[in-house]
């Protein structure tokens, strides 16, 4: 992990209307990204207010964003990372295909006007050769009227990787050409009935994570984690960036992220160390880590919950262990969701079942456990 963690947590929405909750979740996440930009972590390079819209307000604001609203951010280089990566985040509520400047868009290949085609989605692009060149092919006036290109991402000179993996070479048509498939951060399920929904966005100089609790009852989907990984000694990976995206927890041994069709419950991808191509990821969760005899760890007095790094295995092409995910995102067992570990430097997200694997992320060390807080704007830290 590079630098101090920042973000916005405990975004709680309760309109009971799927497209209202989806749009307001997008705006709250957009505001969080704008705050990260002020800190110099990222830079916005493109912005579209949405079809027939003139601003980026909440649904009940003076200038609410419109359908297909999007923003693109460049994660800046730092002392430990010499290459940029680019995040597209978008709100959508319409049947595909759309005709506005935010088109084309597909979410997990959904082509209907319900289900995963309502809500917030994202994708990541980067130069495959480890350069800072931008693969974003759309407008960059950055004043609210930018349009996507027909082929959303393009080779900036060193090759182009886009996560989810289906957008790359080997993916199902038409994605390797137009690269317009995205993964969901939330969906119409998030607040489509008379329930609350809760979201968190946590980031640092290298990474970002979006978490979604669709019913505000501690039943989290993973959402999306984007983070570099450290290759094994002796392996060379020019842009070691992984995306994990899921609408289901818990993690299990050999959880798979990244398909060629882009319609799985778990999506994402990473670069292979060999053959310089995109691959699916297998996440390894060792058995001992889940045993109540070993967790919490009694080697500490008093016993402490310990966290584990995600081991990244490439699952096709030349299969094998390639490295370990950045320590920004780790996992732990037998610890309650929403709890903060030890010095409140980490927070736990997962299902309500204590014995299952939980995602752990950086925390601000001050705020109350996230399940206790209830504001639409969330808590910015």
Q: pLDDT tens, 24-56?
A: 889 999 999 999 999 999 999 999 999 999 999
Cite the DSSP H helix spans in the chain: 18-38, 175-178
Q: Tell me if 1 is assigned to some domain.
A: no
Of 56-70, 89-103, 149-163, which gets the smallest average pLDDT?
Answer: 89-103
**pLDDT for residue 117 is more than 60:** no
Taking alpha carbons only, the member of 87, 66, 62, 72 closest to residue 19 is 66
Q: Is residue 21 part of a domain?
A: yes
CA distance 329 to 336: 17
pLDDT at 39: 95
- Residue 113's pLDDT is 37
Under the banding of pLDDT at 50, 70 and 90, the label for residue 348 is confident
Q: Over pLDDT 70: what percentage of the chain?
A: 89
pLDDT at 286: 73
Q: Of 42-46, 71-75, 282-286, give the lowest mean pLDDT range.
A: 282-286
State residue 114's pLDDT score.
43
Top-confidence residue, 63 or 381: 63
pLDDT bin (cut points 50, 70, 90) of residue 73 is very high
Of 14-23, 182-191, 280-289, where does mean pLDDT reach its minimum? Answer: 182-191
Residue 218 pLDDT > 90: no
Domains contained in the chain, number:
1
- Domain around 201: 6-380
Cα–Cα dist 223/248, whole Å: 8
Strand extents, DSSP E, 133-286: 160-163, 181-184, 197-203, 208-213, 220-231, 241-246, 255-257, 266-271, 278-279, 281-284
């Amino acid at each position: 992990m590079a630098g101090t963690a920042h973000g916005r947590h405990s975004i709680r929405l309760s309109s009971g209307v799927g497209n209202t909750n989806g749009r307001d979740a997008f705006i709250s996440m957009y505001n969080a990204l704008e705050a990260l930009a002020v800190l110099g972590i990222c830079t916005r390079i493109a912005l579209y207010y949405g079809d027939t819209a003139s601003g980026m307000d909440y649904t009940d604001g003076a200038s609410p964003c419109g359908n297909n609203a999007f923003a693109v951010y460049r994660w800046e280089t730092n002392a430990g990372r010499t290459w940029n990566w680019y995040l597209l985040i978008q709100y959508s509520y319409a049947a595909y295909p759309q005709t506005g400047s935010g088109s084309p868009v597909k979410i997990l290949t959904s082509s209907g006007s319900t289900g995963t085609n309502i809500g917030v989605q994202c994708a990541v692009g980067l130069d495959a050769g480890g350069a800072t060149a931008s693969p974003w092919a759309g407008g960059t006036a950055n004043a609210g009227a930018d349009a996507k290109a027909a082929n959303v991402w393009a080779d900036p000179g060193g090759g182009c990787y886009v996560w989810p993996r289906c957008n790359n070479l080997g993916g199902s048509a038409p994605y390797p050409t137009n690269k317009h498939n995205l993964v969901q951060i939330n969906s119409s399920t998030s607040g489509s009935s008379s329930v609350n929904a809760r979201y968190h966005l946590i980031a640092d100089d290298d990474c970002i994570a979006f978490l979604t609790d669709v019913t505000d009852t501690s039943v989290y989907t993973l959402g999306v984690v984007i983070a570099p990984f450290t290759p094994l000694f002796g392996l060379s990976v020019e842009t070691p960036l992984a995306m994990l995206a899921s609408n289901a927890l818990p993690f299990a041994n050999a959880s798979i992220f990244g398909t060629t069709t882009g319609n799985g419950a778990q999506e994402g991808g990473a670069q292979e160390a060999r053959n310089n191509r995109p691959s699916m990821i297998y996440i390894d969760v060792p058995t001992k880590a889940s045993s109540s005899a070993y967790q919490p760890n009694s080697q500490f007095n008093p016993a402490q919950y310990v966290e584990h790094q995600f081991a990244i295995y490439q699952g096709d092409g030349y299969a094998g262990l390639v490295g370990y995910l950045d320590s920004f995102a780790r996992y732990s067992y037998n610890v309650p969701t929403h709890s903060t570990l030890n010095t409140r430097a980490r927070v736990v997200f997962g299902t309500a079942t204590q014995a299952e694997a939980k995602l752990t992320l950086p925390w601000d060390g001050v705020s109350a456990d996230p399940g206790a807080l209830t504001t639409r704007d969330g808590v910015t830290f």
